Amino acid sequence: MATSEVQTVGATGDKMRLALAGALVIAALVAYYMLAGQGSLAQWAGLLVCLVVAVVVFLTSESGRQLIAFGRDAVREVKKVVWPERKEAMQITAYVFAFVVVMALFLWLTDKTLEWVFYDLILGWKK
């Protein structure tokens, strides 16, 4: 017996909610431009009302519930993080800056050495 996920009737309702949310976003844009003659307050009110309703409809869908659950899990994981103390953060930052300076010097010396080898020794071009 295969263990596959069973699609229920709720899947169709879920697709309808997502389609309605998308239609409401489009309606928000249409309302914004259609209400241009009514003034900016009416324009923004129409836009915001339609967008808020679209977000509410989306959040009632299965995708919206999964998004909310993901957000809660992410917040829970961030709370588990042990952040370094100020002293430790400053030390790590100093190590990074020191490494960058050392690497810059190494690359500069490598560049100048290769320039000397190719242009002065091999090609004989004196600057």
DSSP string, 60-105: HSHHHHHHHHHHHHHHHHHHH--PPPHHHHHHHHHHHHHHHHHHHH
Q: 3 pLDDT band (50/70/90 cuts)? A: low
What's phi and psi for 124, nearest 5 deg? 75, 20
Write the pLDDT tens digit of every residue in 35-81. 989 999 999 999 999 999 999 999 999 999 999 999 999 999 999 99
**pTM higher than the cut 0.85:** no
| One-letter identity of residue 48 | L
Opening angle at CA 66, ends 60 and 70, nearest 5: 130
As a whole number, mean pLDDT of residues 22-26 equals 95
Name the residue with tokens 């899947």: 11
Q: 9 pLDDT band (50/70/90 cuts)? A: very low
Q: State the pLDDT at residue 7.
A: 46
